[in-house]
């Protein structure tokens, strides 16, 4: 039996015994600030998913894909449990999504194909009745299927709904300028949102909508396997990390989510309304670039 299957069976067994929540060792562990303490050497992409269990002798014999799968399973369980704790209805996981993840696509082409298949599944989603009935189309995600860095926004706006791509409206134009001002290249990135449908009037996503869409976000994270996730704005950060801390207190440090390092900064739409905050985002990008500069390629 492969390590991956053994872990999946163990989790099923625990669920059958009524265990709905397996606490993570560090749910939102603050990692050392790169500037104060250089981060440890970057582990290989697929071995960033570390936990107490993964560090055990048995886990060391697992393949990187099995270890990643284990982290992903644990993340799914704790996210679902958090949703239920908040009184949300956590939709049943779609077997076709699970099947895509279980294939553990690793090459760029394999990941691209899996993302494409996932995009098709998302396009047929009607979990959020109001959003599904009003959308022009779903807005899945765009970019390098094996990007080291994922940009996570809130939800599509009017232009995104029309064009089917995230961040193509005014906030997206500003995001492009921010990308251009850093040493990042578009091809280093994968860009997606908490929601894949536009909320009416660009209101914030409702908690139930975010819970409905979480399976798809998690699957995108599992397929791309970014080392870094940049949360643009509080909605992205709060939903991803299940915290309510203001962005002002989350900036300039790394959080951990399922093996990725998470950086939080202000949303470009906020900058369009508050030009003074541009310098704060620039500081955050410099912090990020300095950190990336200390890491091996």
What DSSP line would sit under 42-79, residue for residue? PPPGGG----TTTTSHHHHTS-HHHHHHHHHHHHHHHH
Residue number of the CB closest to ligand URA reads 153
Kindly identify the residues of this chain, within the stretch 143-182, that bind ligand URA according to CB under 6 A.
Answer: 153-157, 160, 166-167, 169, 171-172
The answer to whether 86 touches 207, Cβ cutoff 8 Å, is yes
Q: Which is nearer to ligand URA, 166 or 226 (CB)?
A: 166
Kindly identify the residues of this chain, within the stretch 204-223, that bind ligand URA according to CB under 6 A.
Answer: none
Cα dihedral 80, 148, 179, 283 sign: positive
Map residues 107-146 to x or -, x wherever contact with ligand URA holds by CB under 6 A.
Answer: ----------------------------------------
Q: Using the rule CB under 6 A, which residue among 193, 212, 218, 265 binds ligand URA?
A: 193
Q: Which is nearer to ligand URA, 105 or 141 (CB)?
A: 141
Applying CB under 6 A, the site for ligand URA has a residue count of 13
Q: Which is nearer to ligand URA, 197 or 292 (CB)?
A: 197
Q: How far is the CB of 210 from ligand URA (least distance, A)?
A: 12
The residues that bridge with 143 in the sheet, in sequence order, are 190
Q: How far is the CB of 251 from ligand URA (least distance, A)?
A: 17
Q: How far is the CB of 240 from ligand URA (least distance, A)?
A: 13
Q: How far is the CB of 34 from ligand URA (least distance, A)?
A: 26
CA distances from 222 to 105, 146, 157 (A): 10, 10, 25
| Extended strands (E) in the chain | 141-143, 149-153, 189-193, 228-232, 255-257, 260-265
State the CB neighbour count (10 A cutoff) for residue 268. 24
- Residue 154's nearest CA partner among 168, 145, 167, 142 is 167
- Here the tokens at position 179 are 């990308």
The answer to whether 254 touches 31, Cβ cutoff 8 Å, is yes
- Residue 195's nearest CA partner among 178, 207, 177, 182 is 207
Map residues 251-290 to x or -, x wherever contact with ligand URA holds by CB under 6 A.
Answer: ------------------x---------------------
Q: Which is nearer to ligand URA, 71 or 193 (CB)?
A: 193
- The residue ranges that bind ligand URA (CB under 6 A) are 153-157, 160, 166-167, 169, 171-172, 193, 269
């Amino acid at each position: 039996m492969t390590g991956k299957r053994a872990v999946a069976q163990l989790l099923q067994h625990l669920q059958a015994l009524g265990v709905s929540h397996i606490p993570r060792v560090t749910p939102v562990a603050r990692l050392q600030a790169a500037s104060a303490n250089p981060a440890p050497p970057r582990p290989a992409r697929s071995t960033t998913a570390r936990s107490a269990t993964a560090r055990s002798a048995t886990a060391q014999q697992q393949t990187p894909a099995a270890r990643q799968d284990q982290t992903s399973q644990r993340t799914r369980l704790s996210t679902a449990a958090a949703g239920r704790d908040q009184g949300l209805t956590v939709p049943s996981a779609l077997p076709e999504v699970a099947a895509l993840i279980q294939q553990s696509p690793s090459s760029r082409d394999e990941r691209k194909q899996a993302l494409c298949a996932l995009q098709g599944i998302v396009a047929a989603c009607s979990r959020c009745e109001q959003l599904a009935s009003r959308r022009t189309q779903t807005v899945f995600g765009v970019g390098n299927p094996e990007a080291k860095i994922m940009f996570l926004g809130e939800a599509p706006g009017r232009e995104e709904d029309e064009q089917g791509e995230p961040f193509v409206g005014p906030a997206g134009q500003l995001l492009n300028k921010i990308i251009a001002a850093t040493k990042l290249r578009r091809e280093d990135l994968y860009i997606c949102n908490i929601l894949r449908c536009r909320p009416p009037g660009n209101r914030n996503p409702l908690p139930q909508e975010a819970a409905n869409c979480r399976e798809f976000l998690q699957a995108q994270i599992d397929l791309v396997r970014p080392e870094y996730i940049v949360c643009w704005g509080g909605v992205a950060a709060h939903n991803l990390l299940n915290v309510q801390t203001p962005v002002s207190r989350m900036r300039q440090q790394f959080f951990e989510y399922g093996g990725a390092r998470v950086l939080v900064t202000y949303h470009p739409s906020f900058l369009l309304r508050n030009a003074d905050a541009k310098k704060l985002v620039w500081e955050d990008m410099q912090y990020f670039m300095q950190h990336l500069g200390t890491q091996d390629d």
